[in-house]
Structure 1
Amino acid sequence: MASETQEPPILLLVDLQHGLVEGPTEWGPRSTPKLVENVKYLLETWRSKHWPILHIQHDAFNELDNPIRAACPETFAIHTSAAPEGDEKVFVKHTGSAFFAEGLPEAIKSYGKRKVVVIGMDGAQCVNSTVRQGDDLGYKMYVVADACASYGTEDYEGKNVGADNTHNFAMWMLQPYSKVTQTADVLKELGY
């Protein structure tokens, strides 16, 4: 169990936007079939405990074919499963790591030295960048693998790597930088 002096963890939702959660058909299938269900569960859990929640949106403003641009409000919008409530803050970034979002580093520091739990999209890209930079900055990072998702990609030889393989490998790559866990286990891993 958590000690009474342990500060509650921050839930950091990375790029859970309509244009990623419900990506274009040309991206192929997305990993993590229970993504939306797990995101909702974790948000409900954090909200019921009044723990800090921070939302990140990616604005790919210079990529005209990317659906997560502020210029495309429907796909740029935060997905309904992850919509902010009350005074939950939203930060916008233009690069991979959420730590480059204006105001986010200061917001995290304002909570003191807390564990940071990351969920979101895309596991092989922005989630990966965020977690690795968070570790570099000295934060104790946690990633909830089944509350993150990835799309397939091509390897360096041009061979198609499916969404599930891409996601599994992305989560494997994060193990040196974070505790990779599951929705059902994260509270126990955090000491609650």
Structure 2
Amino acid sequence: MLVSMHDDPPILVCADLQVEYLTPGRRHVIRDGDATTARCLELLTLWRSNLWPVMHLKRIAQAAWFNPSSRLTDWIAKTRPQPGEMTFEHPLPSAYSSSRFGGHMSAIRTTRCILIGFSLDETILATAVEGFHRSHRYHVITDAVACRQLGTDDAAAYRHAVVDVIANFATVQSSAELIRTSGAVAV
């Protein structure tokens, strides 16, 4: 189904676009983080230029490896939320661990969301699964999501496996599939 920009557009949900994931030597560094950030920025720019709704998720885990007072939890500069864009901090992998996020999602008419960003194997996976159980429709954009490299030599195979799991709970598509023609978003 194609939705024109004048209809009810889906919500762009930017997951965990934080400095932590781009800092070399950090446990959660993402190898292809710059490419993913660039694709996220393209989609974020499209949503902002059309004044479509944008939400930002920020993981604030209390684990020893994740210090919420560190500058590493700051937003990536170019993806920082702008006035009018909602932000939700979540302590557990799912965005629904934020009672504000869960309440907001339950209250809005549109529950079609485009998920982009980092933490593919944590925040994006957990949010898509929990959203599925709440009848919220998520679309995960494969070229605008990334996850850390776990002690594996084949990070691409790991990422592919995570995307395959997510496909059981959300629509999986590329940004080209999402944006079919100028002024239309396929959902």
Range of TM-score over shorter length:
0.7 to 0.9
The answer (yes or no) to whether the contact 2:30–2:146 under 8 Å persists in 1 is no
Of 142, 162, 172, 2:164 maps to: 172
Q: 2:178 aligns with which of 161, 180, 186?
A: 186
* Residue correspondences, number: 183
Letter in 2 for 1:20: Y
RMSD of aligned Cα (Å): 2.4
Q: Is the 8 A contact 2:3 2:9 kept in 1?
A: no
Q: 2:38 corresponds to which residue?
A: 37
Q: 1:13 maps to which residue?
A: 14
Once residues 68 and 39 of structure 2 are traced to their aligned partners in structure 1, the CA distance between those partners, rounded to angstroms, is: 26
Q: 1:126 to 1:27 in 2, by over 3 A?
A: closer
Percentage of identical aligned residues? 19
The gaps in structure 2 that reach 5 residues or longer are: none
Q: Deviations over 1:48-67 (max 9, x none)?
A: 11111111111122x2223x
Aligned ranges 1:77-156 → 2 under 5 Å? 77-154=74-151
Give the Cα–Cα distance (whole angstroms) in 2 for the partners of residues 2 and 88 of structure 1: 21
- The 1-side partners of 2:101 and 2:92 are apart by 13
Distance 1:4 1:52 in 2: 11
Query: 2:45 & 2:172 partners in 1: Cα distance?
Result: 20
Matched with 2:25 is 24
TM-score computed with the length of structure 1 as normaliser: 0.84
- Normalised TM-score (structure 2): 0.86
Alpha-carbon spacing, 1:42–1:169, altered in 2? closer, same or farther (3 Å)? same
Structure 1 residues 114 and 25: CA distance shift in structure 2, 3 A? closer
Q: Kindly state the Cα deviation for residue 3 of structure 1 after the two structures are TM-superposed.
A: 6.6
Structure 2 SS opposite 1:184: helix
Asked if structure 2 preserves the Cα contact closer than 8 Å seen for 1:31 and 1:167, the reply is no
- C-alpha change, 1:176 and 1:53, in structure 2 (3 Å) is same
Mind listing any 5+ residue stretches in structure 1 that lack a counterpart?
A: 155-159
